[in-house]
Structure 1
Amino acid sequence: MDITKLRPKKRSRIRIFIGKHYFIFKRYLAWIFDKNIYAKEKQLEWFPHIIYKHQTMLLRPLRGVDMWYQYNKIKNLEIAIKQLNGVVIHPGETFSYWKLIGKPKKKKGYVDGMVLYYGTFKKGIGGGLCQLSNLLYWMTLHTPLTITERNRHSYDVFPDSNRTQPFGSGATCAYNYLDLQIKNNTNEPYQLHLSLTDTHLVGEWRALNPSLYSYEIYEKEHQITPAYWGGYVRHNILNRKIYNRKKQLIDDEFIVENHAIMMYEPLLEQKME
């Protein structure tokens, strides 16, 4: 990748406003005129087989971030989950994160939460929903479903303290132009099950039949390099090993290449441990 493309660009508030609304409008047109068949059916009778299950902590102390952001995030997650829980992706259909959730608004009950913004964070209505898109992306990598749109984080904002997944294994989201879209190119329907416990956001992909395959996501070529404009840039590649029911390796495929500007010193995470 050409590292010069990562260099932060200074844009006026007017340009950011115009650009954001241009892409929002473009997405609305895509939802109307593209050829995707978008998933919308919900079934609350759960499919019998769990294909993959994962959970992430709701409250994670972050340096310089007030905890009220995370308490509000939980409220926002509760509302968004109601729109996604039980959704079935039939063969040939596409799951669109924002088309199903809709625009986060106060009148829907959403509150201010933490929104990542050009390498820092600010408050914003519906903030914190990236935790849900991150969870969905990671779970989907462990299924035969195909991710057709995923947007990576351009900035690595917080150190890896207590990280259990590889760097770059999430999917950022912003209504509605940064979407997460998943297509079912299989012959089986898949169902999404989401819930909140007192401590975790929990997700499952379910199916009518057991999975024929299992998946292992791993990182390679991880490195941190100095940026010519100052600071550091973090890089890696994610790959996926695919095993059959006999645990035999049948494929090892490329998933994605990640690059992000680090917003902390590379050795900071070691000092925090």
Structure 2
Amino acid sequence: MARKLLTQRFPFLIPIRIRQRRLFKKISDRLKGYEFSKTFEPNPLPYRIYKHKSLLIRKLGDTDIQLQYNKITNLKLAICKINQVVIKPGETFSFWHLVGNSSEKAGYKEGIILMNGEAIKGIGGGLCQLGNLLYWMFLHSELETVERYRHSFDPFPDYGRVIPFGTGATLMNGIIDLKLRNNSNISYQVNLHLDEEYIYGEIRASQYPPYKYSIVEENHRFAKKVDGQVYRQNKVYKKKIDRVTGNLVEKELVMENDCLVKYEIDNEKIVGSL
């Protein structure tokens, strides 16, 4: 049997551990010398690079629906801190540098948090949906991924999925971040808003870059391993396409997912053992 973490044995230590990790993260970021994006432009930059929308309320197992309504409050608070930010040449976009502390004091409510392979409730829960939207849009740009994490498990069955599995970005208050660096000579802008049904986002730019990007999924499957557990696997590629000629310049493997499935899967969907 695996040994439990200290915070699993003594849950009252969790807030102390979180504060400690947030402090370490701030020190680490400072030592790395990031120049974070902090300029906001109320007028949209002239060229749209990509847009996407994400359904706000969806079926997530047997979780309390109120947590999803709370999530919308959390998303509104975070969007206000990110909307219209401009990522200038040489700058790095950081989710938490912009959003700050997603605490109860800052107005955040309990939402769904994925931790230690389980869906639980916690203050600021649901912000991963914004991280997922942002990262999916950023993948369609030339911005370089500096920091991005994903869950090692698949918590819920798909509900109206429109993008490849495993292309999101998980977040944890001030600790697990989403960072992308602008190595180009073009400025990029993030625009966000939501209504009663969707959260909407777009990436805009000061000029069209020479390339556009397409994200494709290959080899998606559910497979049972020798331990008897089912894993969800796929490969995700980023296609770099010349904007003028339409020719494929490069096809890059950007992620390879192998995630434990935490829900029941019909046997006919499982390809076999590994």
User: What is the TM-score with the length of structure 2 in the denominator?
Assistant: 0.89
Matches within 5 A, 1:121-200: 121-200=119-198
How far apart, CA to CA, are the structure 1 residues paired with 2:169 and 2:66?
23
How far apart, CA to CA, are the structure 2 residues paired with 1:46 and 1:22?
38
* Residue matched to 1:256: 255
Structure 1 residues 160-169 or 177-186, which shifts more? Answer: 160-169
1:200-242 deviation line (CA, Å, top 9, x unaligned): 1111111111243222111123333324444212222211111
* Residue matched to 2:272: none
Report the secondary structure of 1:108's partner residue: coil
Pairs aligned (count)? 264
Query: Residues 10 and 220 from structure 1, CA distance in 2 versus in 1: closer, same or farther, beyond 3 angstroms?
Result: farther
* Residue matched to 1:4: none
Report the secondary structure of 2:25's partner residue: helix
Choose from 100, 115, 118 the match for 2:116: 118
Contact 2:58 2:159 in 1 (8 A): no
C-alpha deviation, 1:265, in angstroms: 2.4
Report the secondary structure of 2:74's partner residue: helix
How far apart, CA to CA, are the structure 1 residues paired with 2:139 and 2:4?
34
C-alpha deviation, 1:91, in angstroms: 0.7
C-alpha deviation, 1:154, in angstroms: 1.1
C-alpha deviation, 1:268, in angstroms: 8.2
How far apart, CA to CA, are the structure 2 residues paired with 1:267 and 1:185?
45
2:241 corresponds to 1:247: no
Provide the alpha-carbon RMSD of the alignment: 2.2
How far apart, CA to CA, are the structure 2 residues paired with 1:166 and 1:198?
25
Query: Residues 217 and 78 from structure 1, CA distance in 2 versus in 1: closer, same or farther, beyond 3 angstroms?
Result: same
Report the secondary structure of 2:180's partner residue: strand
Contact 1:158 1:264 in 2 (8 A): yes
2:58 corresponds to 1:64: no
How far apart, CA to CA, are the structure 1 residues paired with 2:2 and 2:113?
18
* Residue matched to 1:3: none
Aligned residues with identical type, % of pairs: 40
* Residue matched to 1:11: 5
How far apart, CA to CA, are the structure 2 residues paired with 1:164 and 1:85?
23
1:44-90 deviation line (CA, Å, top 9, x unaligned): 12111111101100111222022111111110000000100111111
How far apart, CA to CA, are the structure 2 residues paired with 1:184 and 1:225?
38
* Residue matched to 2:220: 222
1:82-111 deviation line (CA, Å, top 9, x unaligned): 100111111111111111101111222111
- Give the AA of the match of 1:87: V
Choose from 75, 78, 84 the match for 1:77: 75
How far apart, CA to CA, are the structure 2 residues paired with 1:197 and 1:50?
21
- Give the AA of the match of 2:130: L
Contact 1:161 1:269 in 2 (8 A): no
Gaps of 5+ in 1: 1-6
Query: Residues 262 and 223 from structure 1, CA distance in 2 versus in 1: closer, same or farther, beyond 3 angstroms?
Result: same
C-alpha deviation, 1:248, in angstroms: 1.4
C-alpha deviation, 1:8, in angstroms: 7.8
